[in-house]
C-alpha cells in the first residue's frame, strides 16, 4: 500500500517525523515524502530532517515563497504531476498551511483519498489563511484525525462524524518522545548565551507581523519586560522588522530559529513563553511552562485551563498583567491523547486502506 505524505513547512516536519517513525515499523505501508519547498532556509527546514531522522523526501518541488495564490497554484501543478505518476492509495496531509491545502486539493481532484492529521481545529477567524486552509482540507478529506475532543465535536457539527477519529495529538507524542532525552542532558548544547532567567518569545503570524504598528508595539512591549526575552526569529518576522526599520531593544536576545530539541530545552528552562505559534502554545502546556499568547483566540482551547495559557492580543498592559499571573500547572494533559496518536493513525489508515482495496 502506497502513501504520499505532503509536507512543506516547519510544523509539518515535526508531525511527519512521528508518523514516519511509526510507518517504518509497519511493513505493509510504503511512504513517499513529497516536500513542496514552502520552507527552505536551513534553520526551518534541513535541521528538522537531520535532528528528527526524517527520511529524505523523494520529491522536492522547491516552490519557495510567493503570494498565497501563486504559491498554492505552483504547488497544485507540481503535486498533481507526481500523484499522476505515483498513483498512491492515499495522500496524507498535516495541519493548516498552504502545502496542506494544495496537497489535499490536488489529490481529491484525482479521486485519491486524503487523510488529514490535525483535523477539526478552528479559530473561527476567517481572516487567518490557516483557518481557510483547515476548513477546506477537512471538507474534502476522507479520513479526519482529530487531536482533541473539541476538534471531534467541531467536525460532528460540520456533518463529518463518519470520517472523524479521535487519535490524540502527534505533537504530544513528539514532546513525550524527546522530553527525557532533553532532561537527561548533562549540559546544554545551545549555540548561544542563555541567561538563567528569561522569557522565550516566538512571533510569526501574519496578523501580528504584517502590520508595522502592531509589530513595533510587540517589540517595544517585549523590550519593557523585567527579565530578558530570548527571541528566535522566524524568517517572516526577520524580513518584516527589516522592512519596517524596527530595531530590537537591548532586553531582547535575538537568535536564528533554533532546532526542535533546542526549542524544547528553551521552553523547559524559561520562566514563561510568549508566543503566537500554535505548536509552541501546546509545547509550553505539555512541558508545564506558563504561556502568554499574543492572539485574541486559540484553536487549542484546552491549554487555557487553569490560566496555563492566557490570551492577550497585542495590548501591552494585558501582556504585562498576564505575565504576573501564577497559573495552575497541574491540569489534566489527557485531552491531547495518551502519547500514542502516531500508532493510532497508522492503524486507522491501514484498516481503511484494506477496506478500500477490498471494495475494488
Q: What are the residues binding ligand UDP (CB under 6 A)?
A: 10-11, 14, 202, 204, 232, 257-260, 263, 277-280, 283
Binding partner of residue 54 among ligand UDP, ligand UD1, none, CB cut-off 5 to 8 Å per kind: none
Q: Which span sits near ligand UD1 by CB under 6 A: 6-14, 183-191, 280-288, 318-326?
A: 6-14
Q: 204, 186 in Cβ contact below 8 A?
A: no
Contacts of 93 (CB under 8 A, 6+ apart): 5, 6, 99, 100, 103, 104, 114, 115, 116, 117, 137, 141
Q: How far apart are CA 84 and CA 53, in angstroms?
A: 28
Q: How far apart are CA 178 and CA 164, in angstroms?
A: 28
**Radius of gyration in angstroms for the set of CA atoms belonging to the chain, rounded to a whole number:** 20
Binding partner of residue 40 among ligand UD1, ligand UDP, none, CB cut-off 5 to 8 Å per kind: ligand UD1
- Site residues for ligand UD1, 23-82, by CB under 6 A, read 38-41, 44, 65
Q: How far apart are CA 4 and CA 80, in angstroms?
A: 12
For ligand UDP, which residue has the nearest CB?
279
Quick one: 183 or 354, whose CB is closer to ligand UDP? 183
Q: Which of 204, 234, 262, 308 is catalytic?
A: 204
Q: How far apart are CA 75 and CA 122, in angstroms?
A: 24
Binding partner of residue 14 among ligand UDP, ligand UD1, none, CB cut-off 5 to 8 Å per kind: ligand UDP
- State the nearest-atom distance from the C-beta of 258 to ligand UDP, in Å: 4
Tell me, yes or no, if 35 is annotated catalytic. no
- State the nearest-atom distance from the C-beta of 133 to ligand UD1, in Å: 7
Q: How far apart are CA 59 and CA 326, in angstroms?
A: 47
The residues binding ligand UD1 (CB under 6 A) are 9-11, 38-41, 44, 65, 96-98, 129-130, 204, 235-236, 239
Amino acid at each position: 500500500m502506497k502513501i504520499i505524505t505532503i509536507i512543506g513547512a516547519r510544523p509539518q516536519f515535526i508531525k511527519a517525523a512521528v508518523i514516519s517513525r511509526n510507518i517504518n515499523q509497519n511493513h505493509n505501508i510504503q511512504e513517499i515524502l513529497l516536500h513542496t519547498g514552502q520552507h527552505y532556509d536551513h534553520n526551518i527546514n534541513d535541521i528538522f530532517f537531520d535532528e528528527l531522522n526524517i527520511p529524505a523526501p523523494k520529491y522536492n518541488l522547491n516552490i519557495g515563497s510567493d503570494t498565497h495564490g501563486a504559491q498554492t497554484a505552483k504547488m497544485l501543478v507540481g503535486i498533481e504531476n507526481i500523484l499522476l505518476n505515483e498513483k498512491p492509495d492515499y495522500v496524507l496531509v498535516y495541519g493548516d498551511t498552504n502545502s496542506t491545502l494544495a496537497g489535499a486539493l490536488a489529490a481529491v481532484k484525482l479521486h485519491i483519498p486524503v487523510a488529514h492529521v490535525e483535523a477539526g481545529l478552528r479559530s473561527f477567524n476567517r481572516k487567518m489563511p490557516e483557518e481557510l486552509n483547515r476548513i477546506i482540507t477537512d471538507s474534502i478529506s476522507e479520513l479526519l484525525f482529530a487531536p482533541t475532543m473539541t476538534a471531534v465535536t467541531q467536525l460532528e457539527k460540520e456533518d463529518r462524524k463518519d470520517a472523524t477519529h479521535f487519535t490524540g495529538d502527534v505533537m504530544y507524542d513528539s514532546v513525550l518522545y524527546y522530553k527525557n532525552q532533553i532532561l537527561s542532558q548533562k549540559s546544554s548544547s545551545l549555540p548561544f548565551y542563555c541567561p538563567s532567567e528569561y522569557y522565550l518569545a516566538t512571533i510569526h503570524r501574519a496578523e501580528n507581523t504584517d502590520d508595522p504598528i502592531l509589530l513595533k508595539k510587540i517589540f517595544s512591549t517585549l523590550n519593557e519586560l523585567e527579565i530578558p526575552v530570548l527571541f528566535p526569529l522566524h524568517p517572516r518576522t526577520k524580513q518584516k522588522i527589516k522592512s519596517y526599520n524596527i530595531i530590537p531593544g537591548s532586553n531582547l536576545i535575538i537568535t536564528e530559529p533554533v532546532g526542535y530539541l533546542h526549542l524544547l530545552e528553551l521552553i523547559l528552562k524559561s520562566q514563561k513563553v510568549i508566543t503566537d505559534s500554535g505548536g509552541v502554545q501546546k509545547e509550553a502546556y505539555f512541558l508545564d511552562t506558563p504561556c502568554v499568547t499574543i492572539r485574541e483566540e486559540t484553536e487549542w482551547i484546552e491549554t487555557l485551563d487553569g490560566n496555563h495559557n492566557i490570551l492577550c492580543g497585542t495590548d501591552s498592559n494585558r501582556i504585562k498583567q498576564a505575565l504576573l499571573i501564577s497559573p495552575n500547572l497541574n491540569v489534566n494533559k489527557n485531552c491531547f491523547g495518551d502519547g500514542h496518536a502516531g500508532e493510532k493513525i497508522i492503524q486507522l489508515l491501514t484498516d481503511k486502506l484494506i477496506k478500500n482495496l477490498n471494495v475494488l
